[in-house]
Structure 1
């Protein structure tokens, strides 16, 4: 699966730290063309499918297989093959690999480094750990719900000596019952949507709600990755705390995380790991704006005792307010001219109307 052509593509995309991380190649997540198209192409041991989620192409293949299997049930999302809300997940993984966030943060190995095995995802990477919860767990749920074929058995590979990652559906359901139940509910919802009398717009909103409930459950379980935080600078730690916080706002508006809508939000994320006392001088204006807004959202929410998030969630009480909320998030994150004070006042007014 691995060859020089794949290596050269990734190296070309990650060659410069002074620009935003590349997430697309020919309109699809980076190296998508080199991923697996058939379940039968996955490694197998004793009739059990045995993918290696610690290899970038294997983990990305889980997304490709899951998206292809669920696309026939995504009619309410639109007519384009890139309209599934699941596309947001591989785009995040693409950003993580090209920004160097899947590499070994301890420096003990060359896993994930350009000068080493750059397809390797380190078990010590906080980002790789958090992404495991939103890649392996939904994939195992999709298999369990029958989307990828009948009577399949899947067990993820795990490096020797690593014990804090679940590897099968039963194992993950035991360790993360809330996460797995919410992913199960999403995939079951996809099946039942075809028989629902609701309009496509209503189906879409309901399915996006189930999807984000599952994604948030994965995010909320990220505390299992906390032991890896100490490998990063305090600046990077602040960033990934604010990155987690931002998911609360995106989930509440039932954001349609297809490729077209997600890329503008992924592209301005910092294209490298942040360092202690980082002055961000080599980052683009867009990257610095994103870091500023993420930090502001986290700080103001903490200052208000968590009430900004709760007000936002309360305000997103209808299809109409969620549409307005999506517009507000786009302005806040992508338009430097949008005043943060306006955001707070608008949220306060919307919340009182629900």
Structure 2
């Protein structure tokens, strides 16, 4: 009885959209080729007392460079990566950042300068600077003297960030620790998707969620600068849905991220007229996604998360939970079939969390 009740409840109140489009094209974030790929490529500052590299995280190429360095230093620890780095599971971070830039959610307005008033840019700050500082601290990045340009109340050093957003710092430490020790997790096992999920994806999702959830209260005041109430609902809704997506341990490489961005994320900021999502300039699946997101009952979110956590408690359930999310916008009948299979597998197989 619980299984069928779970199916009915989740089918009608979970509104996450994905797609079944299979695209292996490598599309890097805008201006990826000009972003610094090492600390030595940032501007060198000489003053009367010291010499250091200056990083301005409010200049788009510089923040993108933090991601590029992280991709470069972590790829050797991911044996499933190709020579292009596109299979690196950290690519969800710069790819999302690139989408924010392209859609002007960073308030760059045709320049490379990111506004500190941008809610999206402010939240993303803790998804870029935090993992970068942690990677430096544990020795993944060659420790050349550098300084991060401080703006407003955004932390700019490890000690400051540990005081401001300690849980996120801790979770990124754990992610990089697991990453550097991933060989022992894999052992002599064949590198299957199940092993990649266990040894890599579960840890990055934990760190990713921690940065987002702990950043939201810190950047709440920036919501007032968003151009419409619809854009605000979209941003907060997306941030809250991350936990549901993370429970499925979906792949976060460049291929998957770009595929989903192209299908479901609006290429511009939203206006009040988008509240009834029939905008002619937005693709059909984006309109469907907005309709679902804007009608979601967030007062039921804790209840949904409790059920979803049970359904995704093992690998067999998580696979079909991913299929559920990937087909919801295309066919509710197919999505409900996958959801039924995910729920059944959750009870047929042992939980592995």
Indicate the TM-score class for this superposition, using the shorter chain for normalisation.
0.7 to 0.9
1:234 aligns with 2:229: yes
Q: Which residue of 2 aligns with 1:169?
A: 158
C-alpha contact (below 8 Å) 2:327/2:334 kept by paired residues = no
Q: Which residue of 2 aligns with 1:310?
A: 306
| Aligned pairs, number | 312
Q: 1:71 to 1:130 in 2, by over 3 A?
A: same
Query: What is the TM-score when the length of structure 2 is the normalising length?
Result: 0.81
Distance 2:178 2:240 in 1: 26
Q: Which residue of 1 aligns with 2:148?
A: 156
Per-residue CA deviation, residues 69-110 of structure 1 (Å, 9 max, x unaligned), is: 11000114667621111011111011101111000xxxxxxx
Alpha-carbon RMSD across the aligned residues, in angstroms, is: 2.5
Q: 1:223 to 1:283 in 2, by over 3 A?
A: same
- Report SS of the residue matched to 1:134: helix
Q: Whose relative contact order is higher, 1 or 2, with alpha carbons under 8 Å and at least 6 apart? A: 2
C-alpha contact (below 8 Å) 2:39/2:144 kept by paired residues = no
Query: What is the TM-score when the length of structure 1 is the normalising length?
Result: 0.80
C-alpha contact (below 8 Å) 1:331/1:338 kept by paired residues = no
Structure 2 residue runs without a partner (length 5+): 1-23
Structure 1 residue runs without a partner (length 5+): 1-23, 104-111
- Report SS of the residue matched to 1:113: coil
Distance 1:253 1:26 in 2: 24
Per-residue CA deviation, residues 134-168 of structure 1 (Å, 9 max, x unaligned), is: 1111111111111111x444431134xx2x20001
Per-residue CA deviation, residues 153-186 of structure 1 (Å, 9 max, x unaligned), is: 4431134xx2x20001111112111100100111
1:121 aligns with 2:110: no
Distance 1:174 1:286 in 2: 41
C-alpha contact (below 8 Å) 1:311/1:347 kept by paired residues = no
Q: Which residue of 2 aligns with 1:131?
A: 124
Q: Which residue of 2 aligns with 1:248?
A: 243
Q: 1:171 to 1:259 in 2, by over 3 A?
A: same
Q: Which residue of 2 aligns with 1:269?
A: 265
Q: Which residue of 1 aligns with 2:290?
A: 291
Q: Return the offset for 1:292.
A: 2.2
C-alpha contact (below 8 Å) 2:320/2:341 kept by paired residues = no
Q: Which residue of 1 aligns with 2:181?
A: 192
Q: Return the offset for 1:349.
A: 5.5
Q: Return the offset for 1:43.
A: 2.5
Choose from 87, 91, 95 the match for 1:87: 91
Distance 1:285 1:324 in 2: 24
Q: 1:340 to 1:308 in 2, by over 3 A?
A: farther
Deviates further, 231-240 or 190-199: 190-199
C-alpha contact (below 8 Å) 1:37/1:61 kept by paired residues = yes
Q: Return the offset for 1:345.
A: 6.1
Q: 1:176 to 1:61 in 2, by over 3 A?
A: same
Distance 2:223 2:341 in 1: 35
C-alpha contact (below 8 Å) 1:34/1:57 kept by paired residues = yes
Choose from 138, 148, 152 the match for 1:145: 138
Q: Which residue of 2 aligns with 1:8?
A: none
C-alpha contact (below 8 Å) 2:25/2:255 kept by paired residues = no
Distance 1:341 1:317 in 2: 18
Distance 1:203 1:172 in 2: 32
C-alpha contact (below 8 Å) 2:80/2:87 kept by paired residues = no
